[in-house]
Structure 1
Amino acid sequence: MRQAEPVGDESAAARSGGRSFGRIAFASLIGTLIDGYDFVLYSVAAALVFPKVFFPSLGGAAGTIASLATLGVAFVARPIGALLFGHFGDRLGRKRTLIWAILGMGIGTTLMGVIPSANTIGVAAPIIIVILRAVQGLAVGGEWAGSVLFVTEHAPLRRRGLYSMFPQLGHSLPTALAPAILLLVGVLSTPETFIAWGWRVPFLASAVLVVIGLYIRLKVEETPVFAKSRERGQSGVPVLEAFKHQSWTMVRGIGVSLTTITFVYVAQSFVANYGVEHIHLSRNQVLAVSALSGLFYAVFTVLSAFISDRIGRRRMIGGAHVLGVVWGLLLFPVLNFGTFPIYAAALCVTMTIAGLAYGAVGAFLPEQFPTQYRFTAAGFSYQITGVIGGGIAPLLAPVIISSYGTTAFGVVLGVLCVFAAVCTFSLKDKTNESMDWNDPEQG
C-alpha cells in the first residue's frame, strides 16, 4: 500500500485538488489582483498623468514630486489597515475580513476615475485624490495578509509555496496589466484625449473586478487552520500579543519583501518618469516596456514560489536579495546608456529579481507567526515594508538624484537590499513545518 504523503495543514479542499481548491485559489488571486491592479495603475498614472491633471500649477518637476508623494499616503495607511483588518481577521475569520477589504479597494479606485481635474474644481481635486488614496491603503493593508493566509492555511504542507503563488501572482500580474491597459487607451486616443479623460477608463474598469471578486469570496469556506484555532479558544488582543511575543520577528519580517517592493515601485513609477524626462522616450514606449517587464515579474514570481518548496524559502528569497544588491548598483549606469533596448532590458532585469524575491514570500512570512495573531503580525510586517520600499524610495529617488546623482541612489538601493538579506537569513526556515500552531514560543 502506498504511504500517504505527510502533510501539516491539509484540508479536504486541498486534498481534492479539484473545484473546491480551485475556488479557494481564485478567491485569493482575485483580491490581490484587484489590489495590485489598482496600486500599479495609480503608480503609473502618478508618474505620467496626474502631474498634469491634478498638479498643473506646480510645473513639470514639482508637479511630478507632488504626484509621486501621493503614493506615500497609501503606504502610510497600509500598516494601519494591517492592524485594523488583522484584528478582525484573527478574531472573526479570514473570509469575512477579506470581503470588506476588496470592497474598500475597489470603491476607492473606481471613484478616482470620476474626480474632476484641478482645472475644474481647483485644490479640491488633489485633496480628494489623497483621501481616496488613503482608503486604498487601508484596504490593501488587510488584503495581502488575508489572501496569503486564506490559501496557505488550506494548502498541503509540501506544496504550500506553490499554492501561495496565487495571491503573489495577483500582485505581480497587474504590473503588466495596468500599463498595458493604459497603453491601449493611449494608442486609441490622442495625447490630449488621453490626458482629458482616457486615463480614467482603466480606473473605472476596477468595478468589474470587484464584482467578480465578491462573488467568488462569498462562495468559499473559512480556513481549517483558523477554524481549529477558534475551537481551542483565543485570548488577548492580536496586536498586543504579536508585539509582546514576536516584536523582533516582526521587525526582521520587514526586510523579507523589501527588495521586491522597492524594485517594483521604483521601476513602475520613478523609472517610468525617468525614461520620459531624461532618456526622452515616448509615453507609449515606457508603457510598453512597463507591461513587458511586468510579465517577467509574474513569470519569476511563479518560479520562485515553485522552487521554494524544493530548496527552502529562506534560501530562495535571500539569494534574490543578494542579486538585488549588485543590480541596485548597476541599474542607473545601465539606464544612462540612453537607448530604448537597454532601457527595456534594464526594467526586465529589475522586475525579474523582484519576482525571484517575491514568489516565496507569501508562505515564508506567515510561517513565522502562530495562528492566533498571524493575520496581524504578517500583515503589519509586510505593510511597513511597503512604507519604505513603495512610499519612501520612489519619493526620495528624484530628490537624491537631482542633488547627488544616480550613483548615490544606486547605493541606496544596494543598502536596502543588504538590509533585506540580513533580515531574511536571520529568520527560521519553516518550509517543512505545519502552520497549525498557537504557541508563540515556537516562533
Structure 2
Amino acid sequence: MTASSAAPTATTAQVLNSPARVITASLVGTTIEFYDFYVYATAAVLVFPSLFFPSNNPTTALLASFAVFGAAMVARPIGAIVFGHLGDKKGRKTTLVISLLTMGIATFLIGFLPTYHSIGVLAPTLLLILRLTQGFALGGEWSGAALVATENAPAGKRAWYGTFPQLGAPIGFIIANGLFLIINWALPHPTDTLLKSEAFLGWGWRIPFLFSAVMVIVGLWVRLKLVESEAFKTAEKQGAIRKVPLGETLRFHWKALIQGTFIMLATYVLFYLMTSFTLTYGTAASDAAVPGLGIRYVDFVLMQILAVVFFGILTAVSGPLADKHGRRFVLIIVTTAIIVFGLTFGFFLAPHGDLTTAVTIAFLIVGFSLMGLTFGPMGAYLPELFPTNVRYTGSAIAYNVSSILGAALAPIIAVALWTAANGSTWLVGIYLAGASVLTLIALIVTPETKETDYDAASR
C-alpha cells in the first residue's frame, strides 16, 4: 500500500471531530439512553406491578412487571441488526440520531399510557409495545456511541475514549433515580416507603418519562454536529462496505460474535442484580412472606446513588488501565473478583441488625466498583474484535445478544432464587458467580486486541 492510500491517522480524524465533540456526543447520548432505561426499571419495581399488572400475589405482579422489563432485551438484538446494517452502510452519525430519537419517543409515550384500571389488558399490551421499542432503539445506541468514541481516539488511548459512552450508565442512573427522589420529596404522601402515595400513583410517576423529551432534544443537538469518522470514510473509499454486513459478520466473524457475547455476560448479570434486584430486595419488608432488608425506598436509593458514584469513578479509571495493561488482562482480573463477590452474597447481602445499613452500603460500593472496572474496557474491547466494515453490526449483536442471556433473565432469575431460598440471597450470588465463570472462559480463549489495527477496513 502506498503512502497516499494509507488509512488516515487518528490525528487527521481529530481535525474533523474534536476530542470535546467526540466525548460530548458519545457521553450525552448514552446518558439519555440509560436514563430512559433506568426510569422504566425503577417504575417496574415501584408502580407498574400495581398499575399495569394487578394481582392478589405481589410476587406474581412483580415478576410480570420484570417480564415486560426483560422483553426489551429480546428486541435489542433486532435493533442491533437493523441499526448495525445502517451504521455499517450509511455511517455512524445518522444511525445514532435515529436510535436516540426512537428511544426518546417511546419513553415519552409511556408517560401518557392509561393504566390497567382504565383500559384493562390493553394497558400492559401498550406498555409491552413501547418497552420493545425502547429495547429496539437501545440495540443500536451503544455500539454507535462506542464507535464514535474509539474511531476518533488518539493513538494509544482507545480504551480511555471508549469509557466515555460507558459513563452514560452511572450518570443516567443518578439522574433518573435522583428525579424520582425529588418527586417523592415534592408530592404529599403518608409515608415515604415505595412512593405509593395517591399523587405518585395517579400522575407523579409519569414525570420522569415526560422529562426525557428535554434530554433527547439536547442529545440530538449534540449529535447532529458530528462529522463521520475517518475510519468509516476510508472503508468507503476502499470499497470495503458490504451490501449485507450481517451476512459478512456471520460468515467470517462468527467466532468473535460468540466470544464478545460471553465476555459481556457477567457485566450484564452484575449490573441488573446491583440495580433492579437489590432495590427489590432491599426495600422488601423484613416480615414479608419473602423477607427483604426492610430499608425505606428513599434511603436505599440514596445508598445506591452513593455506590454508583464509585461505578463512574472506576469506569473512568479502567480505561487507562486497559490501555496500559491490555483489555483482556484487566478483565480477567476483574471477572475473577466478581466470582468471589458473588460467593459473598449470602453473608453480606443479608440482615445484620444495627449494622445492616453499613454492611449494605459497603456491599453496594464493592459491587458497583466491580461494575465500573468490567464495564469500562468493553467500549474498546468489543468493537476491536471486528474490522471497520462490520464493526457496528458485530459489536452491536454481541453486546445485545448478551443482554438476553444476562440482563433479560437476571431480575427474573434473581427473584425466583430469592423466593426459593425463603429470603436468602446466597443462590442469587451463585448465579452471578456461574455467569462470571462463563465470561472468564470466554476471556481466556479470546486474544488481546490492544494492538489491533483499528483502521483496517476489513480483515
Cα distance in 1, alignment partners of residues 147 and 87 from structure 2: 10
Cα distance in 2, alignment partners of residues 410 and 428 from structure 1: 29
Q: Match of 2:389, SS?
A: helix
Structure having the higher helix fraction is: 1
Distance apart, 1:30 and its partner CA: 1.4
TM-score, with normalisation over the residues of structure 2? Answer: 0.91
Q: Match for 1:425: what amino acid?
A: I
CA contact (8 A) 2:345 2:428 kept: no
Q: 1:350 aligns with which of 367, 376, 396?
A: 367
Q: Match for 2:215: what amino acid?
A: L
The CA deviation string for residues 98-136 of structure 1, in whole angstroms up to 9 with x for no partner, is 110000111111111111222222212111111000000
Corresponding residue of 1:56: 54
Whether 1:377 and 2:394 are equivalent positions in the alignment is: yes
Distance apart, 1:26 and its partner CA: 0.9
4+ long deviations beyond 4 Å: none
Identity %: 36
Corresponding residue of 1:276: 283
Q: Match for 2:237: what amino acid?
A: E
Distance apart, 1:401 and its partner CA: 2.3
CA contact (8 A) 1:118 1:126 kept: yes
Whether 1:335 and 2:367 are equivalent positions in the alignment is: no
- Equivalent pairs counted in the alignment come to 432
CA contact (8 A) 1:160 1:363 kept: yes
Cα distance in 2, alignment partners of residues 119 and 344 from structure 1: 38
Distance apart, 1:419 and its partner CA: 0.9
Cα distance in 1, alignment partners of residues 430 and 138 from structure 2: 30
Corresponding residue of 2:322: 308
Whether 1:407 and 2:426 are equivalent positions in the alignment is: yes
Distance apart, 1:192 and its partner CA: 2.6
Corresponding residue of 2:454: 435
| Pairs within 5 Å for 1:210-359 | 210-233=216-239, 234-277=241-284, 278-338=292-352, 339-359=356-376
Distance apart, 1:42 and its partner CA: 1.1
Whether 1:21 and 2:19 are equivalent positions in the alignment is: yes
Distance apart, 1:58 and its partner CA: 4.6
Distance apart, 1:15 and its partner CA: 6.2
Q: Match for 2:446: what amino acid?
A: L
The CA deviation string for residues 278-333 of structure 1, in whole angstroms up to 9 with x for no partner, is 11111111221222222121111111112211111111122111110000111232
Corresponding residue of 1:393: 410
Q: 2:182 aligns with which of 173, 181, 184?
A: 184
The CA deviation string for residues 347-373 of structure 1, in whole angstroms up to 9 with x for no partner, is 221111111001111011100101111
TM-score, with normalisation over the residues of structure 1? Answer: 0.94
Q: Match of 2:343, SS?
A: helix
Cα distance in 1, alignment partners of residues 252 and 13 from structure 2: 32
Unpaired segments ≥5 residues, structure 2: 1-6, 190-196, 285-291
Distance apart, 1:35 and its partner CA: 1.2
CA contact (8 A) 2:234 2:457 kept: no
Q: Match of 1:130, SS?
A: helix
Corresponding residue of 1:125: 123
- RMSD after superposition: 1.7
Distance apart, 1:408 and its partner CA: 2.3
Distance apart, 1:222 and its partner CA: 0.3
Cα distance in 2, alignment partners of residues 262 and 159 from structure 1: 28
Query: Which segment is superposed worse, 70-79 or 394-403?
Result: 394-403
